[in-house]
Chain A
């Protein structure tokens, strides 16, 4: 069983902790000849595949590296030897060329945005409820993952993204609450409501996730 990631959101809706546990972002590397059979487009400072799905490279993937060299945004290489990726790809003399594609990783800004967005969704959930005294969103299910959310009485939200078949997530969420009480709040150098940068919290959280994955409770296939 897989636990993808953990988020902790404070009562004001800002992200105070984030952990990517297992990544489900496969990367594909392929050697191309000139001209490139893919249509690329620049979007949000990233080069995105918008057409030409083949060999595991999918629409929506971004360009991660060229000839083993990491691409950051639209630039290739380090400061001294910086080149524009499009210039490199448009120059036939650079071919054959090996390009690595994959799903883009969320930047920390995007994560912060998504966390506060969920904070509002959670509130909307309880507002829209046809029944009185409803909680906010506790589980959000898709065909690829399941989001579990636990809000403490003080308003801190613990959010865990897992495989849809992972069981016992409620127990994991309560364990995370305990870890937060122990390793974040009892750390004298941790300021309330601020991002959690405590190594002990990190390592014990890692241990909880690993243990939960190993004993993965199946609630299905």
Chain B
């Protein structure tokens, strides 16, 4: 997990392995605590959401990204700035829906799953489901309601990991004054 800070020369980097292993420990514990994979997915999503609503402020404070007025712009920022800043990777944006309200983030190498082999009987577990919560929470704070799902997961034998983002609506009433 690396990131560039906006504090001039001062950069803070954290070992990606430390982050990956901590996340692994978290998921392993959740599997022990809850009976079904669906419940674990739900918990990861919830945790991610709580991280996302805070993380967005860190992102905005350290990048000079302005407000997005188009979902394509949002996709670009998430892939090229957001993922780069917090995970050190740049996913590919692909599979746009004709209406331009849905796209996929394709992760060739997901840092979260670097050392992971999914044990048998966990076919329903979305190991990296925290990410979907983070995306949902962060976008909600900038007044975009989105739906995030995992379409493919490299851990389950797919070629890549694919996260699908669907734009639902603009949260107009939450729009701060002076922001169109």
Q: Which A residues are closer than 8 A to B by beta carbons? A: 11, 122-123, 125-127, 132-136, 151-156, 174, 177-178, 180-182, 185-186, 192
Contact = CB atoms under 8 A, between A and B. Distances in A.
Interface stretch (B96-104, B107-115, B172-180): B172-180
B170 to A, nearest CB: 13
B57 A123 contact: no
Interface in B60-83: 60-62, 66-67
B178 A180 contact: no
A178 B142 contact: no
A202 to B, nearest CB: 18
B146 interface: no
A134 to B, nearest CB: 7
Given A11-B176, A126-B178, A153 B142 contact: yes
B17 interface: no
B61 A174 contact: yes
Given A135-B178, A152-B60, 9 more contacts: A122-B178, A123-B177, A125-B178, A135-B179, A151-B179, A153-B60, A155-B176, A185-B55, A192-B54
Give the size category of B's interface with A: 20 to 34
A178 B8 CA distance: 13
A151 B178 contact: yes
B87 interface: no
Contacts of B6: 174, 178
A154 B60 CA distance: 9
Contacts, number: 66
A122 B142 CA distance: 19
A154 B179 CA distance: 10
B146 to A, nearest CB: 16
24 contacts: A11-B174, A125-B178, A126-B177, A135-B178, A135-B179, A151-B176, A151-B179, A153-B60, A153-B66, A153-B67, A153-B142, A153-B176, A153-B179, A154-B56, A155-B176, A174-B61, A177-B61, A178-B6, A181-B57, A181-B58, A181-B62, A182-B58, A185-B55, A192-B54
Nearest to A176: B61
A123 B178 contact: yes
B53 A192 contact: yes
Contact of B54 (A132, A136, A152, A186): A186
A181 B178 CA distance: 22
B134 to A, nearest CB: 14
Which 9 pairs of residues, A with B, have the shortest CB-CB distance?
A155-B176, A136-B178, A123-B177, A126-B178, A181-B58, A185-B54, A135-B178, A181-B57, A177-B61
